[in-house]
Amino acid sequence: MVSSPRTEQDLYELCVANLGNARTAQHPDVAAKATLLGLRTQLQEVMDRSEFRDPALFEATHELVDEVGTLLRRHYSESCILPYRDGTYYRECPVDLAHLRVGLSPEIRVLESECSICNLDPEECDHLPGEMYGGRECMSVITKAEVTAVAIVANPRQLVTRFNSISAGTTAELSAALGPKFHPGVQLNCGRCLSGCSGLNRDSAGANHG
């Protein structure tokens, strides 16, 4: 039985091994395509988890995610079509969104919580958060809460609270960029991975809710 990777370094090393197999495949190849699609999500996760904890790992992963994007775009362009829903095109590719280095930080008002050991209100029990009781760690479990605000930040406390879908632009913006042949609903392929990496985007102005 193969155990799942526990750390971002473990996941990175697994990705390196799997990418090696995809590199040597005779494209197009169904298995290689599936591997590459999985890798782009896994590598995005490694980037999110390592950015402020292991800069060297972050940069190495950045290089790999760019390579995965290039292989997919060159050999499996059908995987690089911008989704179109309700009159809007969306950017949802993990390779693309991995380069947007901002995340979401929710402001939460806790309404009700309970002790993970005795299920009582933490204010009314004697258990201490972080301490072990009978092999179980005491935690305050939030059972009811209200989200009062969400901020866009560079370093979210929950490392993987990132955008998974953002607007690709308004119809007017796309028309100006793509020319007179563009009309809403036409299939659009993303070509960002064909021209090399243009760098990371740490500007929250580029993170528009889809």
What pLDDT does residue 200 have?
Answer: 95
pLDDT at 15: 97
Measured in degrees and rounded to the nearest 5, phi and psi for residue 140 equal -90, 115
Q: Alpha carbon 76 to chain centroid distance?
A: 21
Reported as half-sphere exposure (CB side, CA atoms, 13 A), residue 97 has a value of 28
Other C-beta atoms within 10 Å of 72: how many?
23
88-130, pLDDT tens digit by residue?
Answer: 999 999 999 999 999 998 888 999 999 999 999 999 999 999 8
Whether the CA torsion 174, 177, 183, 189 is positive or negative: it is: negative
Q: Strand 166-167's sheet: what is its strand order? A: 84-85, 88-91, 166-167
pTM (2 decimals)? 0.80
* Residue 207 confidence (pLDDT): 53
According to DSSP, residue 76 is labeled: -
At 10, the amino acid letter reads D
pLDDT per position as a tens digit, 40-82: 999 999 999 999 999 999 999 999 999 999 999 999 999 999 9
Q: Closest by alpha carbon to 147, among 158, 139, 137?
A: 158
